[in-house]
Amino acid sequence: MKIVILEENAINNNDLCLDGLKALGEVVSYGVTPPEKIVEYIGDAEVVLCNKANITREVMLACKNLRYIGECATGYNNIDIKAAAELGITVTNAGQYSTMAVAQHVFAFIAEHFSKIGEYSSSVKNGDWIKSESFVYYLSPTEELFGKTMGIIGFGSIGKAVAKIADAFGMKVLVSTRTVPEKDLYPYEFVERNELFSRSDIISLHCPLTDETKNIINKQSLSLMKSTALLINTSRGGTVVEKDLADALNNEKIGGAAVDVVATEPMLPDNPLLTAKNIIITPHIAWAPRQTRERLLSIVTENLRAWLDGKPKNKVN
């Protein structure tokens, strides 16, 4: 059996071992696959493993031997699920592998914004502490998280992890989610989205990109937020109207933003967030610690093994 990996560079920084996959078949791996090369690279393979590459109906029809598509991520909107079902192609995904890594990244953003670690460290390295007359000196003001209100949009595994950490910091937690849990199951307040926008000191997005969540951060929703509020996005870039966010930051309508995702990745040179004020941007790395990627590879390998054994797991179609 031939197994084609279309985007190994996305999950492997030369620190992961593919022996588990190689034990299941002949593995052909490509670091990056341009859209126009997808059909050529899959070729006569029965199995393709992808991450962001678009596996369309046309791709499936052109690759006659294809019987299995393994998504190396949780989201699978890059795959035509309906076409795969019609053509008898199994599609699986890898869920919840990155929960704690993404939650950690959220609080790294929060700590940087409110504690100004980078600014103060750079100042010390520039000699400012050596020159100081006092044991302490002040640059940008810092703030405690205790007592602040954390607003979380989306309450899947990552949203729940972020809520738990926020609670441990002594923050009040507001949650907006499509499916509200039973009363008293969680010690948080479940509210409508507009109320969350207006009451939160920090808003963190943890929702999938759907028709309902596309562009939920826009001029109108930003206008509801506190002028000191911090917006965090580690979910999907398409949940944010980037020009509206850049305008809000540049006009000091909100206090800051921190994003790990943008609408088009890699980031385009004309993205308005690049030149916006008070924003932290990381290149979609919240999910990417080595331990997290090892967990992902293990899930992807086990999904394929289960399918080969006739007992598919994590099947999405």
* HSE, side-chain direction, 13 A CA sphere, residue 292: 21
Please give the DSSP secondary-structure letter assigned to residue 267. Answer: P
Distance CA 143, CA 124 (A): 20
Of these residues, 105, 113, 236, 295, which one is catalytic? 236
Q: Which domains does the chain have, with CATH numbers?
A: 2-97+290-308 (3.40.50.720), 99-281 (3.40.50.720)
Q: Identify any residues that bridge with 29 across adjacent strands, giving them in sequence order.
A: 5
Residue type, 184: D
Q: Are 7 and 51 in contact (CB under 8 A)?
A: yes
The pLDDT of residue 95 is above 90: no
What are 53-67's pLDDT values in tens digits? Answer: 999 999 999 999 999
What are 126-165's pLDDT values in tens digits? Answer: 999 999 999 999 999 999 999 999 999 999 999 999 999 9
Contacts of 126 (CB under 8 A, 6+ apart): none
Of these residues, 199, 284, 293, 295, which one is catalytic? 284
Burial of 253 (0-12, 13-18, 19+ CB in 10 A): middle
pTM summary value: 0.93
> What pLDDT band is residue 184 in, cutting at 50, 70 and 90?
confident
Q: Identify any residues that bridge with 90 across adjacent strands, giving them in sequence order.
A: 68
Active site residue 236: yes
Active site residue 265: yes
The pLDDT of residue 183 is above 90: no
